Amino acid sequence: MSNGPEKQDWRTRLVSWVDGDREPKDQSLFVMEQRHRRRFLPTEEEHERREKTRLHRFFNWYPVAAVFIALTLVTVLLGTVLQMPLFGQESNPINNEVAEHYLEHGEEDTGSSNAVTAMILSYRGFDTLGESCVLFLAVTSVMMLLLKDGEDEDGKLARRSAREADQEEHGDIILKRTAWVLTPFIFLFAIYVLLNGETSPGGGFSGGTILGAGLILFSSAFGQRNVRVIMDRKTYSFIRTFGLMLYALLYGAYIFFGANGLPNYLAGMALLIDLAVGLVVACTIYGFYALFSTGEI
Amino acid sequence: MLETILQDRFAVTAVILFGIGFMNLMLQQDLLKKVVGFNIMDSAVFLLLASLGYIEGHTAPIVEEGAVNASLYINPIPSGLVLTGIVVSVSITAFSLALIQRIYRRYGTIQLRELLEKAKKEED
Amino acid sequence: MRPLVENFPFFCIFLAIVAGILSATLCHGRVAYGLTLASNAVIAVLSAYTLGYVCTTGESFVYTMGRFTAPFGNAIRCGPLQAMMALVFTLVMATSLIGGQRDLFHDVARSRQPFYFTMVDLLEASLLALVYTDDVFTGYVFIEISTIAACALVMAKDTGPNLIATVRYLFMSLLGSGLFLIGLTILNSITGYLLMPPLAQAVAALWESGSYLVPLTVSVGLIVAGLGIKSAMFPFHMWLPDAHGGATTTSSAILSGLVLKGYIMLMMTMMVRVFSMDLMEELGVTDVMLAFGLLGMIFGSLGALREYHIKRMLAYSSVAQIGYIFMGLGVGSTEGVVASCFHVLVHACCKPLLFLCAGRLSAVSGHHRSLKNLRGSAYRDLVAGLGFTVGALSMIGIPLLGGFVSKLYFANASLLTNKTAVVLLTIALSTVLNALYYIPALLGIWVKPAPEETAIVVADATAEELAFDRSFTAAALVLMAAIFVLGIFYHPITDVIELGVRHF
């Protein structure tokens, strides 16, 4: 019985120590019982205030430090580039046997006379696979952020999109006419660039971008609803994943065959890979536009 | 000295651009301007990278038939790397712009300082 | 025709990518969750086989990604260390997913759940690629993948402060990868290679001949600084507490336990395989790393002392633990690298455990996260309390737990250098500081408050949250067991690490 209050006291003290109480511990039991229970509110306000002053101090010092770091960095880099191999010299270390091999054996190795295409699709294709994954991830994360799905819909957004739909109806006549004439040619050009990446500047990335740009032009002239006639959300996500999946599978097989010294069963696959990359890129470009403008695809 | 600078003009420009971008990324309070800064920075790196592969008097690395000789073309490697880099930079720009759009919708501002103060208040 | 097992590292990366793409097409989060766990299980099995294979042969092997060998095509390289890291990362990733499952499906909006798992899968792919890569530019591409995926994991829990934390995290990461890329560009311009073995030869030749010394030094500095920013090396850690502290439990566990380690593994690979430790030492890079590591150990702990928000406290503690790893690298000897690798493992098990337990403790306290509201919460979920205790004691460095062994190895590594005194003193100081914030937290969760106080806190928790969480319990038990294994049967593990460091 007599133990009770003392035990209680031990606990309160411990608890207040855990909370960071700085009260002297040598006060008598009587005083401890007299004392009100510790209130947390003031400490929290105190904490908030301290945080705020910290923030202010941070913002006062930050620019100075940033300017200092940036200037140092620029000076160091300037010093560095002046010590680097001179611009445009053939004897620079970067122009070594690797580049020579890409140029001289690229065509027989990969069947593409454009050395850059040969490099990004065959020699260093794993990087390009990673790069396509970056594009895929970017669209996915933008979808995570901006896609409207009714769950976290607030009224403002709904109204906004309604207004936009209204505006779409009264599209600009010049834009409409121009788009009407241009879009087919843009698509044609895109396909041309897409399919000729091996022998001329171009390939999946450039062709896909042009294709995406054509879609954007079409969509901004005639409204997204008309795009949705040929490509609704399901089709879009199908094409998007299909492109990357095709690419990943083809390239996975290519790596597997290559690394194990099996004959190259996929000799003519560069075209297919270009096509797959083109699909991924076109979907990415158009997806960005659609998501940023209306939050829908 | 001056001759080196003139010869390395692309690299020097790239470094200056890099500095501008870096300052923007660090100093601007406006998130949108930070993204612009980041883009300048990335472009500077791409300029530097692209300039590395250039060889004076050589042409684009598309090998023509009957002219399979590496001493006719520029180095294809940096061009390929720049291509990869640009794609990555586009993706990241899109992601950060989406993030900024979202933040603006929630807080009505994109000034980092105000945002930090508001976020501090919102935390438990 | 090479043995099939040598294909496994590539299969692991490939499988993670394919699982990520498939997840995005699924409509239900639960299905994507199952797919992710299944792919993780397969990857773990494959990695275990690989580990067994490389341990029996005792050598590393290079796997060309395609038909073209070393200086022409991409390649990955797998040795004992890489295989072990891949195995542990995969297992920890799966355990974090299982353990934080309830919070995950509560915090992430239903329509976004499949996307969340896409991010997790591709993060896994990027971690594996960062561990295995033998090509610096592949390293850059996968760094960017993990940047986007990690940021997406933070913002998956859709609150205002989280969005802001994400944007800060993103900008810091961009700065880091920008510096890394420009460092890479400079390195490429003076050597002309991107694959690590010829790059290493070229760097050694440059160092021998003494040409292009300034660009070489600067590029080393930029690469280390870039990766340092991304892995929250001390002066660049500002973004970490908000990003790791605010995210949903699984995200915090993955980010703190694994993502930082991915960059550190790449940095180690660059240091050991490309630049070689001797060069790093002569350039003074190791000294700078040592200094930053030691400062990080102290300032991270000091930051944690100020926090009353449990997850942010753990996040600051990560800064301190990263400091340990950099300290090990900064010692500049093979022993230091071994100690760092072991600490990577310990921290990869400890921090997810702490985050999972903290998440669970706050779930049974109505999602309050300040320490005062968690008082007595250990009694509401005993396993969470026990797990938190084990994790915290391991962080402090109590014998029989993993943290103790890694501190022992760090101390041991420092004995052979001339930096013994400062390293040992800082380890001691950091241990005291660790104890100063972990012990009050432990007391806080184990001391029973007055019943009425508990009632107020518990009133915010739903019955569903108070119910027994089977998946969490399983995950916490597994991680606790891992910490005990690392603390008691550490010899086989360090043997593998030593073998791996020899054949980096």
Taking contacts as CB-CB distances below 8 angstroms, the residues of chain A near C116 are 144
Taking contacts as CB-CB distances below 8 angstroms, the residues of chain A near C64 are 258-259
Q: Is residue B96 part of a domain?
A: yes
pLDDT band at A42 (very low <50, low <70, confident <90, very high): low
Under DSSP, the state recorded for C271 is I
Integer Cα distance of A126 and A124 in angstroms: 6
Give pLDDT, residue A165: 58
Picking from C18, C111, C126, C167 by the largest number of A CB atoms within 10 A of its own CB, the best residue to mutate is C111
Under DSSP, the state recorded for C306 is H
A73 to chain C, closest Cα gap in Å: 10
DSSP line for C14-50: HHHHHHHHHHHH-S-HHHHHHHHHHHHHHHHHHHHHH
- β-bridge mates for residue B73, sequence order: B59
Give pLDDT, residue A226: 79
Q: Is residue B66 part of a domain?
A: no
- C50 pLDDT more than 90: yes
- The answer on A140 and A23 residing in a single domain is no
Count H helices, E strands: chain B? 5, 0
Give pLDDT, residue C472: 93
Cα C86–chain centre separation: 12
Integer Cα distance of C315 and C322 in angstroms: 11
Give pLDDT, residue A254: 87
Choose the closest CB to B92 out of C141, C144, C160. C144
Integer Cα distance of A262 and A255 in angstroms: 10
- C395 pLDDT more than 50: yes
Cβ of A144 and C443 within 8 Å?
A: no
Cβ of C161 and B78 within 8 Å?
A: no
Task: Average the pLDDT over C148-158 and give the result.
Answer: 91
Give pLDDT, residue A170: 58
Handedness of CA C39, C40, C43, C48 (dihedral sign): negative
Integer Cα distance of C91 and C85 in angstroms: 10
- The answer on A249 and A128 residing in a single domain is yes
C92 or A107, greater pLDDT: C92
B122 lies within 8 A of chain C by CB: yes
- A163 pLDDT more than 60: no
Integer Cα distance of A41 and A50 in angstroms: 14
Euclidean distance between the first and the last CA atom of chain B, given in angstroms as a whole number:
59
pLDDT tens sequence across B73-121? 888 899 899 999 999 999 999 999 999 999 998 888 888 888 888 887 7
List, in order, residues 6 or more apart from A39 with CB less than 8 Å away: none
Cβ of B23 and A67 within 8 Å?
A: yes
Total Cβ atoms within 10 A of residue C120 = 31
Integer Cα distance of C192 and C431 in angstroms: 45
A159 to chain B, closest Cα gap in Å: 14
C156 to chain A, closest Cα gap in Å: 8
Taking contacts as CB-CB distances below 8 angstroms, the residues of chain B near A94 are 52-53, 75, 77-78
CB C331 within 8 A of CB C290: yes
CB C2 within 8 A of CB A260: yes
Q: Is residue B112 part of a domain?
A: yes
Give pLDDT, residue A34: 43
Helices assigned H by DSSP within C307-370 = 310-331, 334-363
C161 to chain B, closest Cα gap in Å: 5
Integer Cα distance of C213 and A262 in angstroms: 43
C250 to chain A, closest Cα gap in Å: 17
- The answer on A140 and A256 residing in a single domain is yes
SS3 C229: helix
C94 to chain B, closest Cα gap in Å: 27
Q: Is residue B95 part of a domain?
A: yes
Q: Is residue A76 part of a domain?
A: no
Helices assigned H by DSSP within C134-273 = 136-155, 160-191, 196-209, 213-230, 240-246, 249-254, 260-269
Cβ of B119 and C161 within 8 Å?
A: yes
Query: Subunits touching B (CB < 8 Å, at least 3 pairs)?
Result: A, C
Give pLDDT, residue A2: 45
Cβ of C167 and B123 within 8 Å?
A: no
Integer Cα distance of C475 and C478 in angstroms: 5
- The answer on A235 and A122 residing in a single domain is yes
Taking contacts as CB-CB distances below 8 angstroms, the residues of chain B near A55 are 116-117, 120
Q: Is residue B81 part of a domain?
A: yes
Closest by alpha carbon to C26, among C88, C96, C118? C118
B106 lies within 8 A of chain C by CB: yes
Cβ of B80 and A119 within 8 Å?
A: yes
Largest CA distance in chain C: 76
B58 lies within 8 A of chain C by CB: no
Give pLDDT, residue C158: 84
- The answer on A125 and A22 residing in a single domain is no
pLDDT band at A171 (very low <50, low <70, confident <90, very high): low
What CATH number is given to the structural domain containing B91?
A: 1.10.287.3510
Nearest residue of C to residue A55, measured between CA atoms: C238
Angle at A117 between CA B61 and CA B45, to 5 degrees: 75
SS3 C64: strand
Give pLDDT, residue B82: 92
pLDDT band at C239 (very low <50, low <70, confident <90, very high): confident
Cβ of C170 and B99 within 8 Å?
A: yes
Closest by alpha carbon to C346, among C317, C374, C366? C317
Integer Cα distance of C62 and C82 in angstroms: 12
Residue A130 domain boundaries: 113-293
Q: Is residue A67 part of a domain?
A: no
B78 to chain C, closest Cα gap in Å: 9
Give pLDDT, residue A7: 58
Task: Average the pLDDT over C311-328 and give the result.
Answer: 92
Q: What's the total number of domains in chain A?
A: 2
Which letter, b or e, does each residue of A203-242 get, where b requires 16 or more Cβ atoms within 10 Å of its Cβ? bbbbbbbbbbbbbbbbbbbbbbeebbeebeeeebbebbbb
Integer Cα distance of C269 and C276 in angstroms: 9
Choose the closest CB to C185 out of B45, B96, B103. B45
Cβ of B95 and A141 within 8 Å?
A: yes
Integer Cα distance of C117 and C119 in angstroms: 5
Task: Average the pLDDT over A250-265 and give the result.
Answer: 84
CB C109 within 8 A of CB A151: yes
Task: Average the pLDDT over A120-148 and give the result.
Answer: 89
pLDDT tens sequence across A26-38? 444 444 444 445 5
- The answer on A251 and A152 residing in a single domain is yes
pLDDT band at A196 (very low <50, low <70, confident <90, very high): confident
Integer Cα distance of C337 and B12 in angstroms: 38
Q: Is residue A223 part of a domain?
A: yes
pLDDT, chain C, mean: 91
Which residue shows structure tokens 């301007």?
A: B33
C455 or B30, greater pLDDT: B30
- Return the structure tokens found at C67: 């038909």
pLDDT tens sequence across A276-289? 889 999 999 999 99
Task: Average the pLDDT over C57-64 and give the result.
Answer: 90
pLDDT tens sequence across C8-17? 999 999 999 9
Total Cβ atoms within 10 A of residue A26 = 6
pLDDT tens sequence across A215-254? 999 988 888 777 888 788 888 888 888 999 999 998 888 8
- A152 pLDDT more than 60: no
B95 or B63, greater pLDDT: B95
pLDDT tens sequence across C165-185? 999 899 999 889 999 999 999
Q: Is residue A56 part of a domain?
A: no
Q: Is residue A125 part of a domain?
A: yes
Q: Is residue A244 part of a domain?
A: yes
Cβ of C147 and B92 within 8 Å?
A: yes
Q: Is residue B116 part of a domain?
A: yes
- The answer on A133 and A8 residing in a single domain is no
Integer Cα distance of C198 and C276 in angstroms: 13
Task: Average the pLDDT over A70-78 and give the result.
Answer: 91
Give pLDDT, residue C503: 86
HEC sequence for A256-279: HHHHCCCCCCCHHHHHHHHHHHHH
Give pLDDT, residue B41: 92
Nearest residue of B to residue C73, measured between CA atoms: B77
- Return the structure tokens found at C337: 């690298």
Give pLDDT, residue A168: 56
Handedness of CA A29, A31, A37, A38 (dihedral sign): negative
**In Å, what is the CA distance from C423 to each residue of A51, A266, C275?**
32, 56, 24
Residue B30 domain boundaries: 2-55+74-122
Cβ of B45 and C181 within 8 Å?
A: yes
Taking contacts as CB-CB distances below 8 angstroms, the residues of chain A near B78 are 94
Give pLDDT, residue A158: 52
**Selected residues 91-150 of chain A with any CB under 8 Å from a CB in chain C:** 92-99, 101-102, 109, 122-127, 129-131, 133-134, 136-138, 140-141, 143-145, 147, 149
Integer Cα distance of C88 and C96 in angstroms: 12
Integer Cα distance of C298 and C314 in angstroms: 14
Q: Is residue B78 part of a domain?
A: yes
Size (chain C), residues: 504
Euclidean distance between the first and the last CA atom of chain C, given in angstroms as a whole number:
24
List, in order, residues 6 or more apart from C417 with CB less than 8 Å away: C331, C332, C333, C336, C423
CB C59 within 8 A of CB C503: yes
Q: What's the total number of domains in chain B?
A: 1
Taking contacts as CB-CB distances below 8 angstroms, the residues of chain B near C315 are none
User: For the whole model, what pTM was predicted?
Assistant: 0.91
- C466 pLDDT more than 90: no
Under DSSP, the state recorded for C345 is H
Give pLDDT, residue A93: 85
DSSP line for B22-74: HHHHHH--BHHHHHHHHHHHHHHHHHHHHHHT-BTT-B-SBPPTT---GGGB-
Size (chain A), residues: 297
B66 to chain C, closest Cα gap in Å: 23
- Return the structure tokens found at C53: 């294979």
- β-bridge mates for residue C133, sequence order: C76
- The answer on A286 and A156 residing in a single domain is yes
Give pLDDT, residue C110: 87
